[in-house]
Structure 1
Amino acid sequence: MVVKSLNLDVANREFLTLLGPSGSGKTTTLMMLAGFEDPTSGEIRLRGRSINGIPPYKRGVGMVFQNYSLFPHMTVAENLAFPLQARRIDKAEQTTRIRKALDMVKLDGFAERRPNQLSGGQQQRVALARALVFEPELVLMDEPLGALDKQLRDHMQIEIKHLHERLGVTVVYVTHDQSEALVMSDRIAIFNEGRIQQIAPPAEIYQNPQTDFVAQFIGENNRREGKVTAVDGELCQLALKGGAVVKASIPKPVGAGESRVLSVRPEMIVVGPDAQGLANCYESKVREIIYLGDHVRVLLPFDGVDDLSIKLTHRRAANIAVGGTVQFGWKAEDCRAL
């Protein structure tokens, strides 16, 4: 994927995640940082010095891949020793660093095992230890949890997050999994078609998406197209295609007559008497209620035939029935015209 007009600063000790769909440019960006791809123009600087043209093994950068890339014929200790030997670190120091790295990922006692004697999660910990054992200035991770099952992946997200907090190493992490990015990151850079759409902390990305793409890609979203009919400070009035009128916040300046997309999260919608008096308040018949364990999904027609999705706790959904008419709504500040 071609990466276009990339201008990106990563702070020292930061955990930055590059997030986007397949082919969006995130892995190409990581490969340029690692030295496996060369930028056609511009400069990559690490701690103020240019690393353009410097081969990967001389950049002082640790790398963790999705397939772990462990040497199957080597023990765990030998795998960890490999990057140390390449940097000509003496044997005594190698032993100290390997012991420290294995303790760091909670695998002390596994030094003499081979990769095929380890679980997937243990192999990933070894790969992580190998990336950290030579004390790099920067660690790059390319979808390192993609091969793990969900339960183990969720566990490893927290493990890596805590490890980063403890060590204070700078991490650039690539994934297409939005929940992974939200859990682990200090900041997230959303990529699409080779460009960064938005870069911000997770809460900012989720609560204040700057573009329609970001709102659709991160979290769940109700989306409706419309035109701006009036602007009042940081709010606007949006006339949707089906005739509904909505008051919404505007992340960027907009003028009357311009086309915009309404974005409202399912959990921001209020149902029942609490909807009365909100800037956006409507009425509709419930078409479907979907049980999802810890919450229910209520679907009802809004602005035409398309359903609006509403996320409710079981308690709030207790008096709602399919075919029943309900009031629903949301604050102007809780939706956006993008």
Structure 2
Amino acid sequence: MTAAAVWAALEPGDRDWLRALAAHTGPGARVALVGGAVRDALLGGARPDRQTPGVDLDVVLDGADVEAVARATGLPFTFHPAFHNATVTLPDGRGVDLVRARRESYPVPGRNPVPEPGTLEDDLRRRDFTLNALALTVTPDGPGALLDVSGGRTDLEARVLRPLHGRSLFEDASRLIRAARLAARLTLSASPELLAQVPDALGMAGATPRLWAELKLLLQEPRPGRAAGVLEAWGAGGLLPGRALLAALDARQDAGADLPWTAYAAAALSAGPDPAALAERLGLGDRPGALLNRALSDSFHPPDSPEVLLRALLRPDAYPPLTGRDVVARGVPPGPQVGEVLAHLAALRRGGGLRSREDERAALERYLQER
């Protein structure tokens, strides 16, 4: 595929925006679209995404003032002075990363790298995998050259994930999780070099805060169970509990269920020894834990709800309990008495005395007869 073909694979609005951006950089500067947008264009289409429409844009500026260029777009942006990067918000809500071309070093593996100004080629060589180290230069008139400094196109054609150097996963263990996400989503295989670095990543996991953010992103993949399965196949399944549950939720989605990412997060929490600690470490917030509690309860939810789908996996012997409507239909007048009956039935369920809806109906009859 040529540079022109990669350019043609982008959305027309994105092409217009990139041309306008290049016009703001001034003479001698280089603008390059890098990473996923180029990779996915070469693969023949945009990646599926749970949250964001369109293709993510990641742009490197070589020889231009990032803050000045971001301001010249006229769009809202946030400037990040530590790395001299900016995030520009497009009219459709997507965020575009404008990155100053740089080199990076890791004085303390697992921690944030130390940036230094560099060239576009330096910036490509600091990235995670060869197939993400591809760039399409952009001019005010359209596409320029397609750059490949590490053999990424060959690996892409072979659908192989290869780290850029031998210490890649030791310096940043979160790259292991990102690799599993990409492998599952794009049907890629791991190179021998990647597999050889898995023990390094596992050894550095506890010292790499970014790894937990990547695990949260894994739970937001279109099919998280596939990514968790990749980690397990690579010998890293212990980083995220509940792989079998995640795979079962994938199967529900494949069958037509519409599940939010919080259902996957709740499943992972249910499999961990300390759900609260895991939720905090992954930065999940309160929603997955609340969903898990509802799934483990006896409260009524619609048959196709995430609560019921999770309940079927976590409590395979559970059944739909009687509701207030069922009690009223049996002749109990609406009001406090209905609550008393439901509380009695709930106590029997917790004690293990009821195993089916038929048991519950029989218990209701006994209760009414004894009153």
TM-score in terms of structure 1 length = 0.29
Between structures 1 and 2, the one with greater helix share: 2
**Higher RCO, 1 vs 2 (CA within 8 Å, ≥6 residues apart):** 1
- The structure richer in strand per residue is 1
